[in-house]
């Protein structure tokens, strides 16, 4: 149980820092000084002090989304094996349930975007669910491919099986699934080339368009939740494809702390890589995104096929 | 047990009583009287069904009811599932119907009021039928009573007549297919009761012919592509509580038929039967949801979603049959449990959604999502209940469809090594189909709920909507309560499906406590997921309360990037919402856009009027049915020449046919 609490706290407090690191990496590579890794936390603090604003004409869905989005992220943070595989909640939600919970958060935000009744809100919601619908097959097929060697879709089992057979991680199954999952994680978290988190050019944005009407505390919650979702997906990737250092059942407090440091390092490295690669890439046109996702789908399908032929 | 029989006969008697009350009762208060009795009939049927699922059986042989054949009824656990679902849907829809018929909105006439309980009775009889003649007779009774109900509002809208015509033709072509298949079966078996059919020894070719013929007939009732064309026409045009009955209860019986004939009476068969079922299901799931996602008519959207969900059920049935024939009973059990659970779940959420769509139609007079919006303040209950239905339908936790789709995916994923090359290629594709249809279902219901109920009203009618009367809200709330119960306590539902599953395959593979698959292949606990969600949202709320410095919320104008104030016409509509997806699936959907530019008389460069029409026609209807109808029309017109009004000629036709038939007989004998 201590591991679960540690995980939730780590994700909750550390994810704005991850965003800060990624922005800093990007700034340095672009030749700027950058605002420092604590800037997201300063932003959150600033937003939290402001008076919350309810735009006229919005309703309960608009008010509920800033609670649901971090809520789903926290539930996912408590079941994903980041620090420990021996979560007492492991039997509660498997990899399918985790992706469905993240989708639930996106749906809440899309509905909030529609609820504002503005053209931008609708535009963002429409684009978000389009990407969401096309991402789903890739995710589930990657889950399929990963669950074949482990014989289970439970996250704890998959991670344990991979840690016990490290050679399986460089098999074509695992590599193809990894590439497919990286692409869909980028799409889900709204990073380049699918969406640009730094954009405020109306016609290109997806995620930002839905949150335009939020201010103050509500905006802080949404920004915080977005950061948590990013670190959760990166943590999940790290756990699935580099499952070392994760505490197993019966680990003492020291082992848990070590595991927490290890996962923080892994996620920071992954985030840094992602930020660095973003510098060299441009955002895709909206209607080229399906092609990218179709490519990732093909890789996931190949991963499943390979998992049978190599088994 | 005799108990099942008592409840079941009581339910049928209540239906008969309701029909009698509709015919003989006074016009004042007729809907209330008939509706109340029908609610009771539904409740009795649900109890009978649940008792049958628990293992109670019942049989009856009534030789004097029908000349020559007699009526043979038998209820086993499998029929129990469908009787229970029909009963529960009936209770919700009938309660709703009481309010719906008020102030001249719904049908209050004698015939339509009597047709509802008769339709329910026929749907209760179909799964209990235990001989070919009984099944066909009740099947036809179901078709005719539902046709009467589809026609209920034909005086108000011209589209009703056309929809009913499509329905009548398709349902009877389906009947012809079932009839020919089952008659051939009975003829070679030497008897028509199901017991005799089970014991029959048939040649493999005959068995396959019977299966394919009945599959076509039953699939047309389940709205499976390409036999679905009647469904998106008839379901939207029927009165909404009838839509709910048809979409949540009647289409299930198509799946029941496939299951009963394929796995029970024929006892499974070669693997290609079940791969055919699986492929038909996969095509339906994708085609249905693709049309749902671009539909702007709320009830048409729901009808296409029915095609999708029946497709998912068929994927489960196909997988179950495939595994059963390959000898993997535990997997077959998981797949069949998933399919039956999805039947139950779909019935629950589709009832809520159709009833809520009916409330919207009653309050605003339109089903067009592009003209709706802003209903959450005017119709808070309907909005909340539709939200529950939409959450369940989009297969997200904590909804109920998530559980059945999870089970379905698990059964396909675990198939891996056991199913040979066909399985290795097909099962991942089936998983991808389910995933894509789940993703598109999310988009569909975000659109239906977000555009239809949230934001601001897009038309004066939507702005003046009023909440429905209590009986209608009660019917919807009852159905939504079933959804929540199914979503939060699958622990109670899944074990209840054990006996129905064991009635046709030899294993179950799902353990009772939470949802744990055999061999630790996967586990979720929907109850705990929901609890964790509530806890997490509560924690976030507490956190915000703790850190909030300035507590009061200020109401301000929408910012909208500094533009505005925006009018309701600038909102995103259902059509614009679905446009990106429509563009992605352009090749499949083949949308049609017409731009009609009328220039001013003085100059071609001065435009006076631009008219834009966009629609997404059903491509199968266009490509498959329209040419067939054209040929039929053509033949009909040509055949007119044969009938020129001369009696002599008609007598000559009769003479020629008679002598021809005699000659053929003489040659054959």
pLDDT digits (tens, 9 = 90+) for B204-237: 999 999 999 999 999 999 999 999 999 999 999 9
Measure in Å the smallest separation between the Cα of B604 and chain A Cα atoms. Answer: 33
Q: What was the pLDDT predicted at B22?
A: 92
A275-294 pLDDT, tens digit per residue, is 999 999 888 888 888 999 99
pLDDT digits (tens, 9 = 90+) for B17-29: 999 999 998 888 8
pLDDT above 70 (res B518): no
**pLDDT by residue (tens digit) across B353-363?**
999 999 999 99
Q: CA B123, CA B504: separation in Å to the nearest integer?
A: 21
pLDDT number for residue B106: 64
Structure tokens at B150: 């589809």
Q: Kindly state the average pLDDT of the residues B63-72.
A: 86
- Predicted confidence at residue A135, as pLDDT, reads 92
Listed residue (A257, A267, A275) closest to A11, CA to CA:
A267
Residue A95 confidence class, pLDDT cut points 50, 70, 90: confident
- Final residue in a domain of this structure, among B531, B566, B589: B531
CB–CB contact A51 B553 (8 Å): yes
pLDDT at B9: 95
Assess B413–A contact: CB distance below 8 Å, yes or no: yes
B515 versus A17: the higher-pLDDT residue is A17
User: Which of A137, A154, A308 is facing B523, going by the closest CB pair?
Assistant: A154
Same domain, B386 and B523: yes
Question: Among B110-124, B281-295, B638-652, which is the least confidently predicted range?
Answer: B638-652
Q: Taking residues B91-120, what's their average pLDDT?
A: 86
Rounded CA separation B533/A110 (Å): 19
Asked whether residue B524 falls in the same domain as residue B634, the answer is no
Gap from B239 CA to chain A (nearest CA, Å) = 29
pLDDT of residue A122 exceeding 80: yes
Biggest distance spanned by C-alpha atoms of chain B: 101
Question: Does B194 reside within a domain?
Answer: no
Q: Is the per-residue pLDDT at B167 higher than 90?
A: yes
The pLDDT confidence band at residue B511, using thresholds 50, 70 and 90, is low
- Contact at CB, A78 and B532, closer than 8 angstroms: yes
Residue B599: strand, helix, or coil: strand
Secondary structure class of B312 (helix, strand, coil): helix
Residue B5 lies in a domain: no
Of B429, B446, B560, the CB nearest to A129: B446
Asked whether the predicted pLDDT for residue B520 surpasses 60, the reply is no
**Which residues does residue B599 pair with via DSSP β-bridges, in sequence order?**
B607
CB contact under 8 A, A122 and B540: no
Give the pLDDT band (50/70/90) at residue B509.
low
Q: Considering only CA atoms, which of A275, A269, A276, A267 is closest in space to residue A15?
A: A267
A54 and B450 in contact by Cβ < 8 A? Answer: no
Q: What pLDDT sits at residue A153?
A: 84
Per the CB < 8 Å rule, is A56 touching B424?
no
Q: Which of B394, B462, B559 to mutate against chain A (most A CBs within 10 Å)?
A: B559
Residue B62 lies in a domain: no
CA-based nearest residue to A207, from A192, A193, A196, A218: A196
List beta partners, residue B597. B610
Residues B624 and B517 in one domain: no
Give the other-Cβ count within 10 Å of B273's Cβ: 23
Domain that holds residue B404: 334-353+366-531
- Last residue of one domain, picked from the residues B502, B531, B560: B531
Q: Does B581 touch chain A (CB under 8 A)?
A: yes
What are the CA-CA distances from residue B179 to residues A269, B223, B314, B372, B471 (Å)? 67, 18, 21, 44, 40
Which pLDDT does position B550 carry in this prediction?
A: 63
pLDDT in the model for residue B104? 63
* Least confident segment among A53-62, A219-228, A250-259, B312-321: A250-259
Are residues B377 and B479 located together in one domain of the fold? yes
Question: For B614, which DSSP code?
Answer: E
The answer to the question of residue B662 being in a domain is: yes
Residue B303's Cα: distance from chain center in Å? 7
Does the structure show a pLDDT above 90 at B308? yes
Residue pair B462/B314 in contact by the 8 Å Cβ criterion: no
CB B139 within 8 A of CB B156: no
Q: What is the pLDDT of residue A157?
A: 84
Whether B514 is covered by a domain: the verdict is yes
**Mutation for testing the B interface, residue in A88, A117, A120, A298 having most B CBs under 10 Å:** A117
Tell me the HSE value of B280 on the side-chain side, using a 13 A CA sphere.
Answer: 26
Q: Is A278 helix (H, G, I), strand (E, B) or coil?
A: helix
Q: To the nearest whole number, what is the mean pLDDT of chain A?
A: 89
Among the three residues B513, B531, B549, which one is the final residue of a domain in this structure? B531
Indicate the pairing of strand B592-599 with strand B71-75.
Answer: unpaired
Which of B427, B446, B447, B456 is the best residue to mutate to test the A interface, defined by the most A CB atoms within 10 Å of its own CB?
B446
B660 and B513 belong to one structural domain: no
Q: Are B618 and B291 in contact (CB under 8 A)?
A: yes
* Any domain includes B401: yes
What gap in Å lies between CA B493 and CA B499, rounded to an integer?
A: 12
The answer to whether residue B628 sits within a structural domain is yes
Residue B288: the pLDDT is 96
Contact across the interface for B446 and A111, Cβ inside 8 Å:
yes
Q: Would you say the pTM of this structure is higher than 0.80?
A: yes
Kindly state whether residues B524 and B624 are assigned to the same domain.
Answer: no
Q: Mind listing the pLDDT tens digit for each residue in B581-606?
A: 999 999 889 888 899 988 888 888 88
Least CB-CB distance to A71: which of B450, B537, B559?
B537
Label residue B381 by pLDDT band (50, 70, 90).
very high
Q: Is residue A147 less than 8 Å (CB to CB) from chain B?
A: yes
Q: Put residue A150 in one of left, alpha, beta given phi > 0 → left and psi -120 to 50 → alpha.
A: alpha
Name the strand (E) or helix (H) holding B37. Answer: helix B30-53
Where do the H-state alpha helices sit in B327-419? Answer: 329-364, 375-378, 380-393, 400-415
In a domain? residue B163: no
Q: Residue B180 corresponds to which tokens in the numbers above?
A: 């020919």
Nearest CA-CA partner of B385 in B298, B474, B295, B488: B474
Tens-digit pLDDT profile for residues B448-493: 999 999 989 999 999 999 999 999 999 999 999 999 999 988 878 8
Which residues of chain B make contact with A110, given a CB cutoff of 8 A?
Answer: 446, 450
Nearest CA distance, B279 vs chain A (angstrom)? 17
Q: How many CB pairs under 8 A join A and B?
A: 265
Q: Please tell me which residue, B217 or B428, carries the higher pLDDT value.
A: B217
**What's the ipTM?**
0.95
Report the alpha-carbon distance of residue A16 to residue A27 in Å, rounded: 16
Q: Is the pLDDT confidence value at B510 over 90?
A: no
Per-residue model confidence (pLDDT) at position B418: 64
Q: Does position B1 have pLDDT exceeding 60, yes or no?
A: no
**Which of B392, B534, B537 is best to mutate for the A interface (most A CBs within 10 A)?**
B537
Cβ of B532 and A70 within 8 Å? Answer: no
Smallest CA-to-CA distance from B31 within B92, B95, B119 is with B95
Distances (CA, A) of A115 to A280, B28, B360: 36, 42, 18
How many domains does chain B contain in total? 2
Q: What is the DSSP pairing of strand A53-55 with strand B554-556? A: parallel
Contact B62, B107 (CB under 8 A): no
Please check whether residue A173 touches B, CB under 8 A: no
* Cβ separation B410–A153 shorter than 8 A: yes
């Amino acid at each position: 149980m201590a591991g679960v609490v540690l995980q939730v706290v780590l994700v909750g407090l550390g994810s704005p820092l991850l965003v800060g690191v990624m922005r800093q990496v990007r700034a340095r590579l672009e030749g700027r000084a950058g605002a420092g890794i604590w800037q997201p936390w300063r932003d959150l603090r600033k937003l939290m002090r402001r008076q919350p604003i309810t735009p006229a004409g919005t309703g309960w869905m608009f008010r509920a989304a800033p609670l649901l989005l971090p809520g789903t992220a926290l539930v996912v943070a408590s079941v994903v094996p980041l620090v420990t595989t021996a979560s007492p909640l492991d039997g509660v939600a498997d990899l399918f349930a985790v992706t469905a919970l993240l989708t639930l958060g996106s749906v809440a935000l899309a509905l909030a975007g529609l609820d504002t009744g503005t053209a931008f809100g609708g535009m963002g919601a429409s684009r978000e669910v389009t990407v969401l619908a096309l991402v789903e097959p890739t995710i589930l097929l990657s889950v399929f491919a990963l669950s074949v060697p482990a014989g289970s879709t439970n996250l704890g089992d998959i991670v344990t099986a991979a840690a016990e057979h490290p050679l399986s991680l460089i098999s074509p199954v695992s590599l193809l699934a990894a590439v497919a999952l990286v692409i869909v994680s980028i799409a889900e978290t709204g990073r380049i080339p699918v969406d640009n988190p730094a954009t405020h050019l109306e016609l290109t944005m997806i995620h930002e368009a839905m949150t335009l009407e939020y201010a103050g505390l509500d905006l802080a919650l949404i920004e915080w939740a977005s950061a948590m979702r990013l670190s959760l997906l990166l943590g999940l990737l790290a756990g699935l494809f580099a499952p070392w250092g994760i505490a197993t059942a019966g680990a003492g407090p020291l082992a848990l702390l070590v595991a927490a440091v290890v996962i923080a390092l892994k996620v920071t490295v992954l985030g840094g890589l992602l930020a660095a690669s973003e510098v060299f890439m441009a955002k895709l046109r909206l209607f080229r995104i399906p092609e990218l996702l179709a490519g990732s789908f093909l890789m996931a399908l190949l991963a499943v096929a390979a998992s049978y032929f190599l088994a | 047990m005799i108990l099942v029989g008592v409840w079941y006969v009581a339910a049928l008697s209540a239906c008969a009583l309701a029909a009698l009350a509709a015919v003989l009762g006074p016009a004042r208060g007729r809907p209330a009287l008939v509706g109340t009795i029908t609610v009771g009939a539904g409740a009795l049927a649900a109890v009978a069904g649940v008792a049958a699922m628990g293992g109670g059986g019942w049989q009856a042989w009534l030789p004097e009811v029908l000349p020559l054949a007699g009526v043979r009824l038998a209820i086993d656990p499998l029929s129990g599932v469908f009787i229970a679902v029909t009963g529960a849907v009936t209770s919700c829809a009938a309660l709703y119907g009481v309010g719906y018929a008020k102030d001249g909105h719904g049908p209050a006439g004698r015939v339509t009021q009597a047709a509802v309980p008769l339709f329910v009775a026929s749907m209760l009889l179909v799964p209990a039928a235990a001989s070919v003649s009984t099944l066909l007779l009740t099947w036809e009774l179901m078709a005719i009573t539902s046709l009467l109900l589809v026609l209920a509002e034909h005086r108000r809208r011209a589209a009703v007549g056309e929809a009913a015509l499509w329905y009548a033709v398709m349902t009877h072509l389906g009947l012809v297919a079932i009839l020919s298949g089952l008659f051939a079966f009975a003829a070679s078996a030497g008897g028509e009761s199901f017991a005799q059919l089970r014991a029959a020894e048939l040649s493999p070719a005959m068995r396959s012919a019977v299966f394919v013929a009945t599959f076509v007939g039953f699939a047309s009732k389940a709205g499976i592509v390409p036999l679905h064309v009647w469904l998106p026409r008839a379901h939207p045009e029927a009165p909404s509580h009838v839509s709910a009955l048809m979409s949540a209860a009647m289409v299930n019986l198509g799946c029941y038929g496939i299951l009963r004939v394929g796995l029970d009476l024929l006892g499974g068969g070669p693997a290609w039967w079940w791969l055919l079922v699986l492929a038909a299901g996969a095509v339906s799931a994708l085609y249905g949801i693709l049309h749902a996602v671009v539909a702007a008519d709320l009830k048409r959207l729901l009808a296409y979603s029915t095609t999708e969900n029946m497709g998912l059920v068929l994927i489960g049935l196909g997988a179950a049959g495939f595994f059963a024939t390959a000898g993997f009973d535990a997997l077959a059990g998981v797949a069949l449990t998933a399919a039956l659970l999805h039947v139950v779940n779909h019935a629950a959420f589709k009832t809520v959604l159709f009833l809520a769509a009916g409330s919207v139609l009653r309050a605003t007079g339109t089903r067009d999502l592009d003209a709706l919006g802003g209903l959450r303040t005017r119709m808070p209950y309907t909005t909340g209940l539709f939200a529950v239905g939409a959450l369940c339908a989009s297969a997200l936790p904590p909804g109920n469809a998530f559980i059945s789709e999870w089970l379905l995916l698990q059964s396909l994923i675990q198939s891996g090594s056991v199913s040979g090359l066909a399985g290795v290629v097909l099962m991942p594709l089936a998983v991808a189909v389910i995933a894509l249809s789940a993703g598109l279902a999310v988009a569909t219901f975000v659109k239906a709920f977000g555009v239809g109920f949230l934001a601001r009203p897009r038309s004066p009618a939507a702005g003046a909507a009023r909440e429905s009367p209590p009986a209608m809200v009660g019917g919807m709330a009852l159905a939504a309560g079933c959804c929540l119960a199914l979503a939060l306590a699958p622990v109670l539902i899944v074990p209840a499906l054990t006996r129905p599953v064991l009635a046709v395959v030899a294993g179950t593979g799902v353990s009772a406590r939470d949802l744990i698959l055999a061999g630790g292949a996967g586990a979720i606990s929907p109850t705990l997921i929901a609890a964790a969600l509530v806890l997490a949202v509560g924690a976030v709320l507490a956190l915000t309360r703790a850190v909030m410095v300035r507590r009061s919320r200020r109401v301000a104008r929408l910012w909208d990037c500094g533009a505005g104030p925006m009018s309701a016409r600038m909102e995103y509509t259902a059509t614009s919402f679905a446009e990106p997806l429509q563009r992605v699936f352009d090749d499949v959907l083949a949308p049609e856009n017409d731009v009609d530019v009328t220039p001013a008389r003085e100059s071609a460069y001065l435009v006076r009027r631009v008219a834009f029409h966009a629609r997404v026609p059903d491509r199968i209807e266009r490509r498959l049915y329209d040419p067939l109808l054209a040929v039929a029309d053509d033949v009909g017109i040509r055949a007119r020449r044969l009938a020129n009004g001369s009696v002599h000629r008609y007598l000559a036709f009769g003479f020629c046919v008679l002598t021809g038939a005699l000659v053929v007989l003489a040659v054959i004998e």
